[in-house]
Amino acid sequence: MFALKALNVELGWSLDDIAALEDALFADDVGLDQPMQAPMIDGFICALVSGPKHVAPEQALAWVFDAEHGQQQPSFADPTQAQQVQALLLKQWQATAAALREPERQVYQPLFGCTEGEDGQPLVILDDWCQGYLCGIQLDAPAWQPLLLAHPDWFETLQLYGSEAGWERLEQQPPSEAAHDQAAAELVRQAQQIQRYWQGQRDAAEAAAASGAPALCACGSGRPYPLCHGAN
């Protein structure tokens, strides 16, 4: 098991929380074939709290239990263990949302894994976190599509480290450790950028609903959503 580079914020998971969560999800008698590890859950949460629509934490549980299909359910022998998993998910959910709302304080830090590089120095593992984030996008891909089309550069690092096509590119042309560290910093910046964008869209939609005016499309066209991407 790899080490963890950073915890999200003061109110988020502790190392004991992460150990308890992964012990519960990966226990042999729980019967889960492909649950998410903590860094993947963290990326998944980040996408869901940042995205175009409100998602309840309870809706995320199915994918935490089954990262591939969102269908397999755990067989917890003790009901309190199920409650503990839910409470831990909510704890990180709330901490992530709070941290992303305060970019000026720079408190948000993704939960990356960490291993030892060729020079013996710590090397962050970005793949799991990026996979989790992309999984969060896929839960509501049509709603995310306008932003993906308008600002594909905001998702380049996520795609590079979180998709099979990206892994093939990395295998063919491995980045230097300096470039790898820069990618980790880019992920923090892009996560905050994406959150601010969708928060602005949600705020505008709420204001439009209150005034009776149609909300503008997220693609940036300036047209009302029902006459733009909403027409499809």
Q: How confident is the model at residue 12 (pLDDT cuts 50, 70, 90)?
A: confident
Burial class (CB in 10 A: 0-12, 13-18, 19+), 41: buried
Element (H, E) at 4: strand 3-4
What one-letter code names the amino acid at 80?
Answer: T
Average pLDDT estimate for 3-20: 71
Alpha helices in 101-176 (DSSP H): 127-138, 141-150, 156-162, 164-172
Nearest to 127 by CA among 96, 160, 165: 160
Element (H, E) at 155: none
Whether residue 25 contacts residue 116, with contact meaning beta carbons closer than 8 Å, is answered with no
Residue 147 confidence (pLDDT) above 70 = yes
Residue 33 confidence (pLDDT) above 80 = yes
Residue 4 confidence (pLDDT) above 60 = no
At 50, list the tokens.
């940042």
Tens of pLDDT, residue by residue over 193-218, are 999 999 998 888 888 878 877 666 76
Helix (H, G, I), strand (E, B), or coil: what is residue 10? Answer: coil
Distance (Å, whole) CA 5 – CA 125:
9
Q: How confident is the model at residue 225 (pLDDT cuts 50, 70, 90)?
A: low
Distance (Å, whole) CA 192 – CA 45:
13
List C-alpha distances in Å: 38 to 2, 65, 131: 11, 12, 12
Cα-based angle 106, 125, 172 (whole degrees, multiple of 5): 125
Q: How confident is the model at residue 11 (pLDDT cuts 50, 70, 90)?
A: low
Q: How confident is the model at residue 127 (pLDDT cuts 50, 70, 90)?
A: very high
Helices (H) and strands (E) in the chain, counts: 9, 3
Query: Average pLDDT, whole number, for the chain?
Result: 87
Residue 8 confidence (pLDDT) above 50 = no
pLDDT at 215: 67
Nearest to 42 by CA among 156, 136, 116: 136
Tens of pLDDT, residue by residue over 67-117, are 999 999 999 988 898 999 999 999 999 999 999 988 666 678 899 988 876
Burial class (CB in 10 A: 0-12, 13-18, 19+), 195: buried
